[in-house]
Chains A and B, each alone.
Chain A
Amino acid sequence: MSEQGDALLTHVSEQGDALLAVDGLAKHYGGVRAVDGVSFEVPRGSLTGLIGPNGAGKTTVLGMVAGAIKPDHGSILLDGRSIAGLPPYRAAHRGVIRTFQAASVFPRLTVMENLLLGVPPWSGEGISASLFLRRKWHREERAQLMHARELLDRLDLTQHADSFAGELSGGQKRLVELGRAMMTKPSLLLLDEPMAGVSRTLVPVIEGLIGELREEGMTVLLVEHELGVVERLCSPVIVMAQGRVLIQGEMAECRAHPEVRRAYLVG
Chain B
Amino acid sequence: MSAATQYYIATIVVYICVNVIGAWGLDLQFGVTGVLNFAFILFQAAGAYTAAMLSLGPASASGGFQHYLVGFKLPFPLPLIGAMLVGGALSAVIGLITLRRLRSDYQAMVMLVISVVATVVAESVVGLANGSAGLSLIPNPAKSLTGLTLQTQNWLFVGLCVALMLIVGVLMYGLVYSPYGRVLRGVRENEAAVEAMGRSATRARLQVFIIGGALAALSGALLAQFIGAWAPSEWLYPETFVFFTAVIVGGRGSISGVAIGAALVAVGIQQAVQYMPIGSDPTLLAALEWIITGLLTLIFLWLRPQGLLPERRRRYLRRVKTGFAATKLQESAGT
Instruction: Tell me the A80-113 residues at the B interface (CB within 8 Å).
Output: 87-89, 92-93, 97-98, 100, 104-110, 112-113
A11 within 8 A of B: no
CB-based A-B contact count at 8 angstroms: 131
Contact of A124 among B179, B185, B313, B317 (CB under 8 A): B179
Chain B: minimal CB distance from A136 (Å)? 11
A28 within 8 A of B: no
A17 within 8 A of B: no
A141 within 8 A of B: yes
Stretch from A125-133, A212-220, A252-260 at the B interface: A125-133
Least CB separation from A115: chain B residue: B316
Q: A89-B195, A120-B198 are in contact. Are A108 and B180 (CB under 8 A)?
A: no
B309 within 8 A of A: no
Contact of B182 among A97, A113, A146, A149 (CB under 8 A): A113
A205 within 8 A of B: no
B186 within 8 A of A: yes
Q: How many angstroms from the CA of A65 to the CA of B189 in the assembled complex? A: 24
Q: A66-B196, A100-B193, A117-B194 are in contact. Are A127 and B180 (CB under 8 A)?
A: yes
Instruction: Tell me the B161-204 residues at the A interface (CB within 8 Å).
Output: 171, 174-175, 178-183, 185-186, 188-190, 192-201
| Residues A121 and B316 in contact, CB atoms below 8 Å apart | no
| Residues A93 and B182 in contact, CB atoms below 8 Å apart | no
A8 within 8 A of B: no
Contact of B178 among A93, A97, A129 (CB under 8 A): A129
Least CB separation from B181: chain A residue: A130
Least CB separation from B179: chain A residue: A125
Contact of B189 among A87, A108, A112 (CB under 8 A): A108
Return chain B residues, CB-CB under 8 Å to A104. 190, 192-193, 196
| Residues A142 and B327 in contact, CB atoms below 8 Å apart | yes
Number of interface residues of A (CB under 8 A): 46
Instruction: Tell me the A115-162 residues at the B interface (CB within 8 Å).
Output: 116-118, 120-122, 124-127, 129-131, 134, 137, 141-142, 145-146, 148-149, 158, 161-162
Return chain A residues, CB-CB under 8 Å to B311. 108
| Residues A92 and B195 in contact, CB atoms below 8 Å apart | yes
A180 within 8 A of B: yes
Return chain B residues, CB-CB under 8 Å to A148. 320
Q: How many angstroms from the CA of A89 to the CA of B317 in the assembled complex? A: 29
| Residues A110 and B315 in contact, CB atoms below 8 Å apart | yes
Return chain A residues, CB-CB under 8 Å to B316. 110, 112-113, 145, 161-162
Instruction: Tell me the B95-112 residues at the A interface (CB within 8 Å).
Output: none
Contact of A180 among B178, B197, B315, B317 (CB under 8 A): B197
| Residues A116 and B179 in contact, CB atoms below 8 Å apart | yes
| Residues A146 and B174 in contact, CB atoms below 8 Å apart | no
Q: How many angstroms from the CA of A170 to the CA of B286 in the assembled complex? A: 49
Q: A92-B198, A108-B311 are in contact. Are A161 and B317 (CB under 8 A)?
A: yes
Instruction: Tell me the A59-81 residues at the B interface (CB within 8 Å).
Output: 66, 68
Least CB separation from B319: chain A residue: A145
Chain A: minimal CB distance from B254 (Å)? 12
| Residues A141 and B179 in contact, CB atoms below 8 Å apart | yes
B286-318 vs A, Cβ < 8 Å mask (1 yes, 0 no): 000000000000000000000000010111110
Contact of A112 among B171, B180, B201, B317 (CB under 8 A): B317
Contact of A89 among B174, B199, B314 (CB under 8 A): B199
Q: How many angstroms from the CA of A124 to the CA of B182 in the assembled complex? A: 11
Q: Which of B179, B180, B311 has the most CB of A within 10 A?
A: B179
Chain B: minimal CB distance from A86 (Å)? 11
| Residues A109 and B186 in contact, CB atoms below 8 Å apart | yes
Q: How many angstroms from the CA of A131 to the CA of B172 in the assembled complex? A: 9
Return chain A residues, CB-CB under 8 Å to B211. 127
B238 within 8 A of A: no
Q: Which of A68, A161, A184 has the most CB of B within 10 A?
A: A161
Return chain A residues, CB-CB under 8 Å to B75. none
Q: A87-B195, A108-B311, A120-B198 are in contact. Are A137 and B186 (CB under 8 A)?
A: no
| Residues A89 and B190 in contact, CB atoms below 8 Å apart | no
Contact of B179 among A106, A108, A129, A146 (CB under 8 A): A129
* 15 A-B interface contacts by CB (under 8 A): A89-B197, A89-B201, A92-B197, A106-B193, A107-B189, A108-B189, A109-B314, A113-B316, A117-B199, A120-B198, A121-B199, A124-B179, A145-B320, A146-B320, A161-B317
B interface vs A, CB < 8 Å? 171, 174-175, 178-183, 185-186, 188-190, 192-201, 207, 211, 311, 313-317, 319-320, 323-324, 327
